[in-house]
Amino acid sequence: MSERRALYHLLALAVVAVWGVTFVCTKTLIGAGMDPAAIFVLRFIIAYLGILALDFCGKGKPRLFSDSWKDEAVFLFLGLTGGSLYFLTENTALAHTQAANVAFLVCVAPVFTALLTLIGRRVMKGRFAEGLEDVRLGFPLIAGTLLALAGMAIVIFDGTRVELSLKGDLLSVAAAVCWALYSLFMGQMTKDYGAVFATRKVFFYGLLTVIPFLGGTAGSFSMEILGQPVVYLNIIFLGLLASLACFIIWNLVMVKLGNVTATNYVYLNPVFTLITAAIILGERMSPVSIIGCAAILAGVILAGRR
């Protein structure tokens, strides 16, 4: 492995470590009285303002639109799947179930990414098909997918959990599907337009498409809530580090390593979440959930093997 490629693997690991902690940050904000949609809005406003500053401070005049209305539609789709819909499903799931459960279920995204990439290379044409990794249907992918799905079923239908919530678990799976769809196209769009422009578009359309979900969230923006250190510190962390910095780095990583290889790092998300949730939130998993989570990790790792 070249030193440059190894660097991108380390960057992927660092991003996933930060994203693993965000589950706990978001659940802490929900516990402080914030609405899931409001958390996303504040997080992405900070990130969008930051990336605008980066864009305007760069060389040359920053562009506003992509090369065609079709590419603009793709960015809209990415703003939905990697922005508003992903974070709304994930954040709402955190309001109904444990942070560790959400993290483990969302980490099935690499399996969905591999399956969708397998289909996409055969269905799509042009640059988007060429931009996808060459995924082969074989024993690792089939066995890993079945094992991960079995683990998902165990976690979702674990009746021994103190905090059982079918709604929260299913929303977590929906978030994984959203991220897999995002991973199909974002690598190519980053390659075509650059990481800063592509990420800025995702932030913009993510904010635009979350507007219909903001009804009844006014209380989350009160100074009584936002003035709490635990709230504004977590919001700043989510906006500047977890969104602005990590999204730019992640989009570059997908270009350099491939959409499937990069997304495979997501299976480490719950490891960092589990440790942080145990320390900060005092969460504990039941023996049955531990078995299910182990099956998910094993399945995702197996599915990602060449």
CA-to-CA dists, residue 69 to 66, 73, 76, 209, angstroms: 7, 6, 10, 17
For 46-64, the pLDDT digits (tens) are 999 998 888 777 666 778 8
Write out the two tokens for 189. 């769009």
Of 70-79, 144-153, 248-257, the one with minimum mean pLDDT is: 144-153
pLDDT-above-70 percentage for the chain: 92
Q: Is the pLDDT of residue 3 over 90?
A: no
Residue 186 structural domain: 3-303
289: left (phi over 0), alpha (psi -120 to 50) or beta: alpha
Evaluated on CA atoms 10, 16, 17, 22, the torsion sign reads positive
Count, residues in the chain: 306
- Per-residue pLDDT averaged across 235-247, rounded? 93
Mean pLDDT of the chain: 84
Of 66-75, 171-180, 209-218, 239-248, the one with minimum mean pLDDT is: 209-218
3-state secondary structure 87-123: HHHHHHHHCCCCHHHHHHHHCCHHHHHHHHHHHHHHH
- Per-residue pLDDT averaged across 257-279, rounded? 77
Residue that wins the pLDDT comparison between 217 and 91? 91
- Per-residue pLDDT averaged across 122-143, rounded? 77
For 101-118, the pLDDT digits (tens) are 788 788 778 778 888 888
Write out the two tokens for 208. 């635009």
Q: Is the pLDDT of residue 305 over 70?
A: no
Q: Is the pLDDT of residue 235 over 50?
A: yes
CB-CB contact of 83 with 203 (8 Å): yes
- CA dist., res. 26 & res. 16, Å (int): 16
The pLDDT assigned to 157 comes to 67
The pLDDT assigned to 86 comes to 94
Residue that wins the pLDDT comparison between 186 and 134? 186
The pLDDT assigned to 224 comes to 87
The pLDDT assigned to 219 comes to 79
- Per-residue pLDDT averaged across 251-257, rounded? 85
pTM of the model: 0.81
Q: Is the pLDDT of residue 162 over 50?
A: no
- Per-residue pLDDT averaged across 264-286, rounded? 77
Number of structural domains found in the chain: 1
CB-CB contact of 293 with 150 (8 Å): no
The pLDDT assigned to 2 comes to 66
pLDDT-above-90 percentage for the chain: 32
Distance in Å from the first CA to the final CA of the chain = 15
- CA dist., res. 253 & res. 255, Å (int): 5
The pLDDT assigned to 87 comes to 93
The pLDDT assigned to 20 comes to 86
The pLDDT assigned to 99 comes to 83
- Per-residue pLDDT averaged across 278-298, rounded? 77
The pLDDT assigned to 138 comes to 77
The pLDDT confidence band at residue 303, using thresholds 50, 70 and 90, is low
Q: Is the pLDDT of residue 126 over 50?
A: yes
For 169-223, the pLDDT digits (tens) are 889 999 999 999 998 888 889 888 988 899 999 999 999 999 998 887 877 888 8
